[in-house]
Structure 1
Amino acid sequence: MASNRKIAGIESAIYLLRGQRVMLDSDLAAIYRVTTKRLNEQLKRNRNRFPDDFAFQLTTEEFRNSKSQIATSSLMSQFVTSSGHGGRRKLPWAFTERGAIMLASVLNSDIAVQASIRVVRAFVRLRQMVAANAQLAAKLEELEHRLDSHDEAIVDLFAALKRLLEPPEPPKRREIGFHVRERTARYHAQSNKSKIKNRNSKIP
């Protein structure tokens, strides 16, 4: 039971970034019982072990757009408003499931190794939940075709259920840089009739 609670706690620290489920450096540091500074030092020393599908550093825009996801994370208390990054000098690193396992190996501690097992189980359970949602969506689709589609209440119910199963849309990125917007011309081309009329008026 206690193990399930720990796994559930880890699940709440898994976020969706760049189409991948990841954990942030500060959350993994808390789970592996090390400081975020030491964790990132080990990452820097063993950078060749962490390709892009293992770990990546968030951009400023990604962090700002992801605040709604990480509102409950320990990271939020470290990022305050004045300098844009608050108590941290650098943007956070995100680790995929593979990266979290590799991180435990480079930290080389029994606590990190044991904790990494719970991390993997949390990732696996999330994948199972996503798969279950996909199966449920398929069953809803099949059931919708069987039922009377002319019943407005049933149509609305299925639409609401589908919305609940859909993943949230990624935030729209604001265009960066200088853009020139052309103004619409204030003049209009003369019609052929008006041109002929003007010519005739000039003939003596």
Structure 2
Amino acid sequence: MSEIIIPDEIITNKIYFVRNQKVMLDKDLAELFDVETKRINEQIKRNSLKFPEHFMFQLNENEFQNLKSQFATSRWGGTRKLPYVFTEHGVLQLANVLKSERATQMSIKIIEVFVSLREFITNNLNTKLEIEEIKKKLINHDKNIELVFSYLDELMEKQDNKVERNKIGYKN
């Protein structure tokens, strides 16, 4: 089994965010799996029970137009049907029903990229939460510093407004 060498960036650039899920288009998967899109559609119809809604769904017209608008040049050719998109689980399931060595190898690579993206997003979320916590502490410190300065101002004002008193006691 020869290893497929394809940069992660190529796969990453084919992952989109639709309906709050990371998904890949049927035509992109067909290209990566080295099959025709119609073969993917055939397998979806033959194995419809293996592709629940959280594995794969068809884009609606609005989602499709929104996705197309993200590209400067049209790469959609003569697309007649609304495309299907596959989640991480759907990609793995698709490779299982296609039963080709290339599909199996590519699905492993794609899953690794999905996992890397998930880790990246999680790390960024943790970093963002830490930054928010630091901001809260800084705001608290700023308030405390302002309070200290206001107390210092009061003390200096009292110092300036001190009345000279006559000293009582023995004179030397």
Q: Deviations over 1:8-56 (max 9, x none)?
A: 2111111110111100001101110111111111111111110000100
Aligned residue for 1:13?
A: 14
CA contact (8 A) 1:22 1:94 kept: yes
Aligned residue for 1:88?
A: 79
SS of corresponding position for 2:7: helix
CA contact (8 A) 2:96 2:104 kept: yes
Aligned residue for 1:124?
A: 115
Output the CA distance in 1 between the equivalents of 2:36 and 2:104. 16
CA contact (8 A) 2:4 2:105 kept: no
Q: How does 1:73-152 map to 2 (within 5 A)?
A: 76-79=74-77, 87-148=78-139
Shift in Å, 1:133:
1.0
CA contact (8 A) 1:104 1:113 kept: yes
Quick one: structure 1 residues 31 and 66, their matched pair in 2 at CA, closer, same or farther if it must change by over 3 Å? Answer: same
Is residue 30 from structure 1 mapped to residue 28 from structure 2 by the alignment? no
SS of corresponding position for 2:132: helix
Output the CA distance in 1 between the equivalents of 2:127 and 2:16. 22
SS of corresponding position for 1:16: strand
Output the CA distance in 1 between the equivalents of 2:4 and 2:110. 11
Output the CA distance in 1 between the equivalents of 2:10 and 2:69. 18
CA contact (8 A) 1:25 1:36 kept: yes
Output the CA distance in 2 between the equivalents of 1:92 and 1:134. 31
Is residue 45 from structure 1 mapped to residue 58 from structure 2 by the alignment? no
What is the TM-score with the length of structure 2 in the denominator?
0.74
- Amino acid of the residue matched to residue 103 of structure 1? L
Output the CA distance in 1 between the equivalents of 2:4 and 2:97. 24
Structure 1, unaligned runs of 5 or more: 80-86, 152-204
Quick one: structure 1 residues 107 and 72, their matched pair in 2 at CA, closer, same or farther if it must change by over 3 Å? Answer: farther
Shift in Å, 1:66:
2.5
SS of corresponding position for 1:78: coil
What is the TM-score with the length of structure 1 in the denominator?
0.63
Q: Percent identity at matched positions? A: 44
Shift in Å, 1:78:
2.1
Normalized per residue, which structure has more helix? 2
What's the Cα RMSD here?
A: 2.4
Larger Rg over CA atoms: 2
- Amino acid of the residue matched to residue 47 of structure 2? N
Residues matched between the structures, number:
140
Q: How does 1:117-196 map to 2 (within 5 A)?
A: 117-148=108-139
Output the CA distance in 2 between the equivalents of 1:120 and 1:56. 18
Output the CA distance in 2 between the equivalents of 1:102 and 1:60. 25
